[in-house]
Structure 1
C-alpha cells in the first residue's frame, strides 16, 4: 500500500515569518464582509466552514462567528506581569543552581520513577547566579514598564465577549469532537446533567459525610501499608494527599451523535482528589498490560501500517464496531476479576505490586465521588472518564475479554484482520454478511454489560480519522473529517510563541503526508492546511 512516509518539513522556512493569513488555521479564513451568508440546518449554523451549535435563546450574528472562530485556545495580548515574570525567573535560577550543585546529576534516584512529589529543595544561590539574576530582574522591570501590548482583539470583540460573560443563563462550550462552538442555556445543560447523574443504574446520591469517611479510610489504609512495608516512605509521600478536593463533574456535548439534541459526555475533573495519586500509581504499573498482543492499536498511523496489500479482496467487507459507553459499563466485580487474571497471566508482577494494584484499583472504583451543583454523587458502575488509570484499566478488561471470547472463537476464520483502538473495533471480513450477523449475536452473548453499534460497508472504511477505500488491487487512504469539523486549530493572531504556530503547520503537513496515499488528494489537503 503506497502510503507516504516522507516529511514535508523541509519546505518550511524557519527564518522569515510568513504573512498572518498563511497560518490562520483556526477560524475564518477571511474577514467577514457584506456578502456573508450564514447557513442553518436545525441548530447548526455555519459561516466560512466554521460551525456554531446553538441550543440557546441567543441570536447568532456574524460578529459571533468572528469572535468564536478565534478558538478556545486563543490567547489575548496583554501587558506582561512583573510578579509573574520574576517568579518565572526565580524558578529558572533555581533549576540552574541545582544543576550546578549536583553537577548535572539527579538529586535522588527514585525507586518508582515518575511517582514522586516535586522537590521543594531550594539551596542558596551560587554567587554568580545571584548576580546574574539581579541583573536580569532589573532589566525585566525596565522592559515590562516600557512595553505596551498591541491588542489582538477589536473593541467590538471585547464588548461582545463581556456581554457573553455577563449572561448567567448562557454556557459556551467546546463540542466533544469536530471543533466549533456550542451555545447552550444553563437550564438545559443542568437538566441534561441531572438526568445523567440520577441514572440509578450508574450513580447514587452521596453525602459529605460519606466523602469524609472515605478520606479517613484511605489515609488509614496507606498508613497500614507503610507500617507493613508494602509501600516505601517515598511511595507513601506520593500517595498520601492530606488536603484533597472533591472531584467535580461536567458534560461535553456530543454534537456528532445528535446535532439536534446532543447527549453529554460526563467528564470527572479528578486532579487533586484523594484517589488521584492511587490512579497514577496503578496506571504506571499496569501500562505493561495495556498493549499486549498485536490487535491493540496505538494510533491511526499504527493502523495504516497494518493494512497490507495482501489483505485486499474484491469481496472484502469493512466492519466497524463501537462499544457503547465502555468506561461506564464495566461492573466492578468483573473488571477487578479480569484485571487480577490478566496480572497473573502476565507473570511479571511482584507480590507487593500485585496486591497493591488490585487494592488501589478497588479503592478507585468504589470511592468515585463527584460534586455537581451542590450535590454529591458516587459512580457505582464502571470507571470515571477523567481518571488517570481509566484508559489503561478499560484496555486491560477488553484485552482479557478478547482472550476469553474472541481470539479462539469459531469465527476467527471469517476475518483477515481484527484490530481495536480502545472501544473502536475494525474487522476485515472475508465471509458473508449473514455470517457476520451470527458473529454479532455471539458477541452480545459473551457478556451482559457490553453493547455494540456497528457499520458494514463493502466499498470504504471510516475508522478513527481515516477513510480507507478499495482500489483495483489494493487500498487508498485519506484523512476523514466529521460533518461537525470546523478546521479548529490555532488562530495566527493568538499570543502563542511563533515556533508553536510553525510547528502546528508542520505537524499537520506531516499528518497529511503520512495518511493520504493519493497524490491529487494530498495536494488538495496540503492546500487546505
Structure 2
C-alpha cells in the first residue's frame, strides 16, 4: 500500500485519521464476534436514534497485523519532508484579510441568497438590526439574562418525559445540554431585494443552546408528517417531474409566490394548533407523546431568547430562523392553512405544490 502525501501534509491529522481507522477495524472485529441482538419488543412510544457519540474502543482486539500496518505507515510518512507553509495567499492578501477582520467600522456577512459575501458599514448593520428588533410585535428587550430560569424549565420538561418513558435513556442523555450556550442574533442581508440598503433576514444562532437538541428531537418526530402533506415538495427534481406529467392547456395560468417573513409571523397558538392537527390525524403517536411534543414546541417558542450587542431579547411571535424544527413547523402551518382555505378552489387547481414558503400552482 502506498500513501501519497500532499505538499503541505499535516502529520498530526494523518495520525488522528490512522487511529480512527484502527478503531473502526477493531469495532468491526468486535461486532462480528458479538453480533447485536435486534429486539422485536413492541415500543409503546415512537423513539428516535438520537444519542451521544460512542467512545467504545475494544483495544484488546488490536492485532499484531494492525500494529505492523500502523508502524509501516508512520515510517513511510517520516521519510517525507513536509512544508510548514500551508498558506496559499500572498503577503498582501493576508494583510488585507487581517485588516478586514480587525476593522470595527464594517460588518461582513454572507448574502441571504446567491452565495455572495457582503461588506456593510457597521453603522448600517446596527441600524438595520435595531429596525428588526424594534418590532414590538415580534421581539421584546429583557432586563437581565433569562438563561438560568429557562434552563430549569427545560430540565423539568426532559425529566418528566424520561419518567413517563416517552424518552428512553439514550434520548434523555443526548437532549439534556448541561452547559448551554446563549443564542446570538445576526441578520443576512437580502441584496437580491436592495443591493444598496439590503433589508435583513433575522437569524438566531442557537447551536449548543439549551433548546437546540430538543428542537432536533421534535424535528425528527415531525418530519414524517411533513413529507405526507399534500403539497410537500422535496426538491427541484420533484417539481420538474410533476411538471413533466402536466398537459399544458391554453386557459392555464402558471403562478409562483411566497409568504413574506413566514417564520416570524406564525402566531404560537395557530402554529401549535396546526401541528396538533397533523399529529392526531392517525395513530402513529400515542396521545401522551403528542402532548409531550406540543409542550416542547411551546417551550421553545415561548423561551426563544437571544443576545445582541450587550442586550438580551425574547421573541414573542413566530419561530426563529435557525432553530432545527422551524422548517417542519412552518411546513405544517402552511399545510393546515391549505387544507382549510384551498378546498374552495380545488376544482380550478390543476397543480399546487410548495417548498416551505415558496408556492407553485
TM-score bracket for this pair, using the shorter chain length: 0.7 to 0.9
Cα contact 1:78–1:149 (8 A) shared by 2: no
* Offset, 1:173: 2.3
Partner of 2:355: 421
Cα contact 2:231–2:335 (8 A) shared by 1: no
2:180 pairs, out of 237, 244, 247, with 244
**Is 1:341 aligned to residue 270 of structure 2?**
no
**Is 1:399 aligned to residue 335 of structure 2?**
yes
Deviating more after overlay: 394-403 vs 184-193: 184-193
Secondary structure, aligned partner of 1:381: coil
d(CA) in 2 for partners of 1:167, 1:108: 59
Change (3 A) 1:184 1:349: same
Cα contact 2:7–2:82 (8 A) shared by 1: no
Partner of 1:122: 57
Residue-by-residue CA offset, 1:354-384 (whole Å, 9 max, x unaligned): 1221121111111111111222111111111
* Offset, 1:181: 2.6
Cα contact 2:230–2:335 (8 A) shared by 1: no
Counting only pairs closer than 5 Å after superposition, residues 137-286 of structure 1 correspond to structure 2 as 137-143=74-80, 145-147=81-83, 152-286=88-222
Secondary structure, aligned partner of 1:393: helix
* Offset, 1:348: 1.7
Quick check: which one's helix share is greater? Answer: 2
d(CA) in 1 for partners of 2:37, 2:313: 41
d(CA) in 1 for partners of 2:281, 2:265: 24
d(CA) in 1 for partners of 2:24, 2:240: 42
d(CA) in 1 for partners of 2:330, 2:293: 15
Q: CA RMSD in A?
A: 2.5
Partner of 1:132: 69
Residue-by-residue CA offset, 1:288-327 (whole Å, 9 max, x unaligned): 1112244221111111111147531223322222111111
* Offset, 1:385: 0.8
**Is 1:99 aligned to residue 99 of structure 2?**
no
Partner of 1:50: none
* Offset, 1:339: 1.0
Cα contact 2:110–2:117 (8 A) shared by 1: yes
Uncovered stretches (5+) of structure 2, i.e. residues with no partner: 1-5
Partner of 1:37: none
Change (3 A) 1:332 1:136: same
Deviating more after overlay: 273-282 vs 292-301: 292-301
* Offset, 1:150: 6.9
Secondary structure, aligned partner of 1:400: helix
Cα contact 1:289–1:346 (8 A) shared by 2: no
Secondary structure, aligned partner of 1:385: coil
Change (3 A) 1:190 1:359: same
Partner of 1:370: 306
Secondary structure, aligned partner of 2:312: strand
**Structure 1 length-normalised TM:** 0.61
* Offset, 1:207: 4.9
d(CA) in 1 for partners of 2:200, 2:78: 47
Change (3 A) 1:214 1:413: same
Cα contact 1:249–1:371 (8 A) shared by 2: yes
Cα contact 2:8–2:82 (8 A) shared by 1: no
d(CA) in 2 for partners of 1:206, 1:302: 45
d(CA) in 1 for partners of 2:234, 2:166: 33
**How many corresponding residue pairs?**
348
Cα contact 1:205–1:376 (8 A) shared by 2: yes
Cα contact 2:204–2:321 (8 A) shared by 1: yes
* Offset, 1:148: 5.7
Cα contact 1:246–1:273 (8 A) shared by 2: yes
d(CA) in 2 for partners of 1:217, 1:391: 24
d(CA) in 2 for partners of 1:380, 1:105: 52
Change (3 A) 1:371 1:137: farther
* Offset, 1:251: 1.0
d(CA) in 1 for partners of 2:35, 2:132: 48
Q: Which has the higher contact order (CA 8 A, sep 6+)?
A: 1
Partner of 1:83: 12
Cα contact 1:249–1:372 (8 A) shared by 2: yes
* Offset, 1:139: 3.8
